[in-house]
């Protein structure tokens, strides 16, 4: 075989190997969240999802790592478990709304876990009048993260701006969670 043909054959094999590795590797966390939002009489309903590319165990690990959420979710300044062991899970969350820089967000939520499947949450105190919803993990090997919530802001805000705020919040949270899931998944794959 001539050196040119050998070179072409080596490059073709290398290209096929790279393609196979790319097809077998987990999907990057650059998936974009799909968010649907509607408002009626001051109540905002949000439905959103994102394909994470990770398994159920990794997704659950990130979703329930409440004390670290503020490390990877933009505009969430504090998130910490404030309940005692054996009590219902209560989270203190403090954040900011980029469109309303002088309005700090402060909330206590109660969370009910269904292991490896869902987190139901409900606001029990704070400056948002109503917030209740659920995070769901769908699938086992390459899961989809779903989010549904009902929000009533409880503070004066133009309707169109409130839709944009909560649409953006859902999108940013889902994408941040999916990115952290992918980061942890790649870290565990490297071990």
Q: pLDDT tens digit string along 61-109?
A: 999 999 999 999 999 999 999 999 999 999 999 999 988 888 899 999 9
Q: CA nearest 89: which of 69, 107, 110?
A: 110
Q: pLDDT value at position 12?
A: 43
Q: pLDDT value at position 25?
A: 40
pTM for the structure as a whole = 0.81
Kindly state the average pLDDT of the residues 28-50: 89
Q: pLDDT value at position 168?
A: 95
| Sheet with 76-81, edge to edge strand ranges | 34-40, 43-51, 144-152, 130-138, 118-126, 100-114, 89-97, 76-81
Contact 51, 142 (CB under 8 A): yes
CA 109 – CA 106 distance, rounded (Å): 10
- CA torsion sign, 70 to 76 to 77 to 79? negative
Tell me the per-residue pLDDT of 16-38, one tens digit each, with 9 for 90 and over.
333 333 333 444 446 899 999 99
Tell me the per-residue pLDDT of 106-142, one tens digit each, with 9 for 90 and over.
999 999 999 999 999 999 999 999 999 999 999 999 9
Q: pLDDT value at position 99?
A: 87
Rg (CA), the chain: 21
Q: pLDDT value at position 6?
A: 52
Domains and CATH numbers, the chain: 30-190 (3.30.530.20)
Q: How confident is the model at residue 3 (pLDDT cuts 50, 70, 90)?
A: low
- Partners of residue 125 on adjacent β-strands: 108
CA 145 – CA 133 distance, rounded (Å): 13
Q: pLDDT value at position 17?
A: 36
- Partners of residue 117 on adjacent β-strands: none
CA 36 – CA 59 distance, rounded (Å): 22
Contact 147, 174 (CB under 8 A): yes
Tell me the per-residue pLDDT of 146-162, one tens digit each, with 9 for 90 and over.
999 999 998 888 888 99
- Phi, psi torsion values for 9, nearest 5 degrees: -65, -45
Please tell me which residue, 190 or 24, carries the higher pLDDT value: 190
Share of the chain above pLDDT 90, in %: 69
């Amino acid at each position: 075989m001539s050196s040119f043909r050998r070179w072409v054959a080596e490059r073709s094999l290398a290209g096929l190997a790279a393609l196979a590795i790319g097809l077998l590797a987990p999907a990057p966390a650059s998936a974009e969240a799909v968010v649907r939002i509607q408002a009626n009489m001051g109540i905002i309903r949000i439905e959103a999802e994102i394909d994470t590319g990770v398994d159920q165990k990794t997704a659950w690990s990130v979703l329930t790592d409440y004390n670290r959420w503020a490390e990877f979710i933009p505009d969430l300044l504090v998130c910490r478990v404030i309940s005692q062991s054996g009590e219902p899970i209560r989270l203190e969350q403090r954040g900011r709304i980029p469109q309303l820089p002088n309005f700090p967000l402060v909330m206590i939520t109660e969370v009910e876990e269904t292991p490896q499947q869902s987190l139901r949450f409900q606001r029990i105190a704070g400056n948002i009048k109503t917030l209740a919803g659920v995070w769901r993990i769908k699938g086992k090997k390459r899961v989809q993260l779903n989010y549904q919530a009902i929000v009533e802001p409880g503070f004066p805000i133009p309707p169109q701006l409130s839709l944009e705020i909560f649409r953006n919040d859902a999108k940013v949270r889902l994408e941040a969670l999916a990115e952290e899931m992918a980061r942890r998944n790649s870290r565990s794959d490297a071990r």
